[in-house]
Structure 1
Amino acid sequence: MSLLIRGATVVNADCSALADIYIRNGKIAAVGPDLDVLPETKVVDAGGVLALPGGIDPHTHLDMPIAGTRTADNFEQGGRAALAGGTTMVVDFVIPRQGQSFLEAHNRWMGFARSATCDYSFHMAVTWFDESVAQEMGVLTRERGVNSFKHYMAYKGTVMLDPERMLDSFVRAAELGCLCTVHAENAEIIPFLQRRLLARGMNHPRAHPLCHPAYGEAEATQRAIALAEAANVPLYVVHLSCSQALDAVVAARNRGLPVFAECLGGHLAVDEAVYEQEDPAQAARFVMSPPFRSARDRAALWEGLATGSIQVVASDNCSFTDAQRADALTDFSRLLNGTPGLEDRMRVVWDGGVAGGRLTPEQFVAVTSANAARIFNIYPRKGCIRPGADADIVLWDPDALYTVSARNHHHAVDFSVFEGMTFRGAPVATYLAGKEVFRDGQVTAEPGIGRHIPRPVFGSDFRTILEMLRSSFHNKKRYNDLPEIRHP
């Protein structure tokens, strides 16, 4: 089957141009003006809208088992939310139990994803470490397409890796030519403050952000950077939420260290005032870690995106219904952590970034798609509109106004953290491997259409990543023309 998208303004991370896009067999075959195609080719008129690479959200938790329940959005429903917002691929997390085989856990998550409605890949969380784990990390990179390993520096006793083994894991990742990612929060401060506030009778969710202070995030970020420097491994800091942690990342990069940073759409649009709602059930909807922070921190994140200090916007989509949180409303420390955000991620960034005058359209593509594709080594298969790439394309109306409502979103939860907010910029249609899967508010993707996307390792020489950083940050306003990371 062939498709021609006619007359769109094609926006990549490095340039924009009025062009046609010719698609055959799920791939982009040609991009250029006035393309000639076979008579039987289906033609879509895209005049007046933009054609963007499909969004890549490298931080989701779909169908994740936790505390006797599961996240509400699974790979089918979460994928529908993704497509409705212009995202065509997610990178989710395999999270083994303490002592569980990593390969066994990976098999389990691959089973969860059989019903996926968008493309997907997996990070592997290192929740414990010994020689058998080191061996399985090698199998995951060689045979399963895993090139990134996550380390929780919080949630002691559950998913947090023993701090004494964290450097061992970093060194093993470096040996394999992989990237380390971290959830950076201080694991001692959080429970200490929780106990103190509960002893004072503060059990309302408004106490949650008080137990996850910015200084604790900054300390853990700095510590992770030091470990990565010792291990000589690239570091990716997930859901960076505050100016203090950003300062640590910028200082590391100024010393030439390969440190990447991700922020969340939620942290760009919502602040800590949401926890002050008197109804604990309403306030509990916003419980996530790190929490929503101050207006000053929000401004710092936007500045970080504009200057290239933050490379990626993700969602950390980890959704729970009101019913799933109901039994912990009298003890904030037991509340399930996580919020939805996958569907509205790209709208948030366009509205506050491009419509708000902070980002160019090319920078928007960089932070919502291209940079994630490069950092996680799937570029140029993903993250760009050029011949040979997967035909994952979003037709985007830059002036459309969209008001968020749980009544018509595609998440499997009965609320949105963006409820009632109006964003400028929205997808008109979404194509996955050349097939239209969203148009006019309707998702038509069938369960199982999503494909697993393996991600090659970077190799033992990280000079390509260091060069990417130099190219992207020395010219702060043109950081999106990053050189391609080449496979070893």
Structure 2
Amino acid sequence: MTIVIRNGTVVSPLGTSASDVLVDGERIVAVASASSGLADQWAASADRVIDAAGKYVLPGGIDAHTHMEMPFGGTSSVDTFSTGTTAAAWGGTTTIIDFAVQAKGTSLLSTLEKWHQKADGNCAVDYGFHMIVSDVNDGTLKEMETCIDAGVNSFKMFMAYPGVFYATDGEILRAMQKAKETGGTIMMHAENGIAIDQLVAQALAEGRTDPVYHGITRPPELEAEATYRAITLAKVTGAPLYIVHLSAAQALTAVANARNRGQNVFAETCPQYLFLSLDDLGRDDFEGSKFVCSPPLRPREHQAELWRGLRTNDLSVVSTDHCPFCFKDQKELGRGDFSKIPNGIPGVEHRMDLLHQGVLAGEISLSRWVEISSTTPARMFGLYPRKGAIAAGSDADIVVYDPAVKQTLSVETHHMNVDYSAYEGLEITGRVSTVLSRGSVVIDDGAFHGSTSHGVFLERELNQYLV
């Protein structure tokens, strides 16, 4: 099928241009200046012409941090790969990278196979995997090499959650040495879990059980300390390091200092840390439980520093850490004990829209919007130029975005499989108009036209910032 997208403004990390795009099958075959007149020739034989007048034409979003069907705290995140990737498409995200979760005592390869069984044939958009490494031993370290051969070359570790995912500094060091040897990337959840567990126990013993104490017992200083420690271990081993879901200004300072020294340290933040705050955790009537995630939401003054980090590239990527748990029967597990509230906020559908509000507010440029939501994650996780670009030869993952339309975010209108919206009632400007995934129209004119068997697994190359 041939599709012509004409009269739009193509946005890339290098700027904007009035350009027309020709799609044939699954790929972009040509991009031409609107003044060239080529769109008229293309349109004469095209199966479809999309008029993008007054709209942006963007490379499909890449959400490099999602958790579909993830077991946690005796329950599981409620978006399946089918519902979660469909919601992603509604929001202009055409690729997700999810996490295969190694349980202690199991192998990485059996874990990867289990996640393939969950996702294969059940995704509306394309997908890849990172590997969560929770059991470091000789066998696991050897299997990291096999995972890389299978297109999974990023490995997440935790300085938090003792007894579940927590890794000691020695275990982290060994995994980093293997990453250095093989070209893999270590991703780090950087919070001092040992100290946090003490603060949690003390708060509960004193009767401080409300959701807001989830944030208070995970202070930004303990995120900063763990971030600095992870950076130090990475420096000792020479391994690259990617800090996931950075939330605190103090942790950002540690990342910025390392980058200024020339160390291969990268970091992402998430929309919840840019738009929500500790005040939301403090909402009455247990409403604050809807906003429990880790690291926690911070006092509002951290937001300005995070936006600044996105402008300076000390924060390179915005992902969602999409991990939805329903309020009813899931978040409610923590009534009377905030430590039992499942950690996670839904957001895969709203990332592109929320970041557009940053453009409108002057926090980031149009080009930076595309860079942090699509092109950089494509480069960081070995998908570029197949993904993350409007260019001849790239996959036709294309978003036609209307920057003027108004919408109100709500559980009544979102497509995520969760019974609340973290952004309920937020009025925003901008919305997806049409979404193509590998040349197939999946969203158009307010309707889903895709298939939950359309998405394919992506074997990823190594981090291109290290080449």
**Same fold (TM > 0.5):** yes
Name 1:181's counterpart in structure 2: 187
Q: Secondary structure at the match of 1:291?
A: coil
Q: Secondary structure at the match of 1:285?
A: helix
Alignment gaps of 5+ in structure 2 = none
Q: Does residue 130 of the first structure (1) align with residue 137 of the second (2)?
A: yes
Percent identical? 39
Aligned pair partner of 1:375 in 361, 376, 380: 380
Aligned pair partner of 2:425 in 420, 423, 432: 420
Q: Secondary structure at the match of 2:458?
A: coil
> 1:41 Cα shift?
3.0
Aligned pair partner of 1:294 in 287, 299, 304: 299
Structure 2 distance, partners of 1:42, 1:200, is 65
Q: Does residue 200 of the first structure (1) align with residue 206 of the second (2)?
A: yes
**Counterpart amino acid of 1:205?**
P
> Contact 1:176–1:457 (CA<8 Å) still a contact in 2?
no
Q: Does residue 51 of the first structure (1) align with residue 41 of the second (2)?
A: no
Residues 78-477 of structure 1 mapped to structure 2, 5 A cutoff = 78-114=84-120, 115-142=122-149, 144-280=150-286, 282-322=287-327, 323-351=329-357, 353-458=358-463, 465=465
Bigger mean CA offset, 6-15 vs 219-228: 6-15
Structure 1 distance, partners of 2:202, 2:75, is 28
**Counterpart amino acid of 2:387?**
K
**Counterpart amino acid of 2:184?**
C
Structure 2 distance, partners of 1:401, 1:451, is 33
> Contact 1:95–1:159 (CA<8 Å) still a contact in 2?
no
Q: Secondary structure at the match of 1:295?
A: coil
**Counterpart amino acid of 1:383?**
G
Bigger mean CA offset, 326-335 vs 31-40: 31-40
**Counterpart amino acid of 1:76?**
S
**Counterpart amino acid of 1:294?**
P
**Counterpart amino acid of 1:391?**
A
Shift of the 221–345 alpha-carbon distance from structure 1 to 2, 3 Å rule, reads: same
> Contact 1:391–1:431 (CA<8 Å) still a contact in 2?
yes
> 1:47 Cα shift?
1.3
Structure 2 distance, partners of 1:195, 1:327, is 17
Structure 2 distance, partners of 1:40, 1:212, is 56
Q: Does residue 26 of the first structure (1) align with residue 33 of the second (2)?
A: no
> 1:402 Cα shift?
1.6
Q: Secondary structure at the match of 2:65?
A: coil
Structure 1 distance, partners of 2:258, 2:196, is 25
> Contact 1:274–1:286 (CA<8 Å) still a contact in 2?
yes
Q: Secondary structure at the match of 1:30?
A: strand
Structure 2 distance, partners of 1:447, 1:23, is 22
**Counterpart amino acid of 1:360?**
S
1:239-270 CA-to-partner distances (Å, cap 9, x unmatched) read 00011000000000111101111000111111
Structure 2 distance, partners of 1:360, 1:77, is 31
1:324-363 CA-to-partner distances (Å, cap 9, x unmatched) read 1223211101111001011111111110x21001211111
Name 1:479's counterpart in structure 2: none
Q: Secondary structure at the match of 2:9?
A: strand
1:372-404 CA-to-partner distances (Å, cap 9, x unmatched) read 011111111111100000000000111222210
Name 2:67's counterpart in structure 1: 61
Normalised to the residue count of structure 2, the TM-score between the two structures is 0.96
**Counterpart amino acid of 1:443?**
F
> 1:173 Cα shift?
1.0
Structure 1 distance, partners of 2:94, 2:333, is 35
> Contact 2:86–2:452 (CA<8 Å) still a contact in 1?
no
**Counterpart amino acid of 2:442?**
V
**Counterpart amino acid of 2:72?**
I
> 1:40 Cα shift?
4.3
Structure 1 distance, partners of 2:85, 2:462, is 26
Structure 2 distance, partners of 1:25, 1:252, is 44
Structure 1 distance, partners of 2:70, 2:275, is 25
Alignment gaps of 5+ in structure 1 = 459-463, 467-484
Structure 2 distance, partners of 1:243, 1:426, is 30
Structure 1 distance, partners of 2:209, 2:29, is 58
Q: Secondary structure at the match of 1:208?
A: helix
Structure 2 distance, partners of 1:195, 1:210, is 12
> 1:443 Cα shift?
2.1
Q: Secondary structure at the match of 1:303?
A: helix
Structure 2 distance, partners of 1:278, 1:366, is 38
Normalised to the residue count of structure 1, the TM-score between the two structures is 0.92
Q: Secondary structure at the match of 2:411?
A: coil
Root mean square deviation, CA, Å:
1.2
Structure 2 distance, partners of 1:91, 1:441, is 25
> Contact 2:330–2:341 (CA<8 Å) still a contact in 1?
no
Structure 2 distance, partners of 1:265, 1:235, is 21
1:266-289 CA-to-partner distances (Å, cap 9, x unmatched) read 111111101222211x11111100
> 1:235 Cα shift?
0.7
> Contact 2:214–2:339 (CA<8 Å) still a contact in 1?
yes
**Counterpart amino acid of 2:345?**
T
Structure 1 distance, partners of 2:144, 2:98, is 17
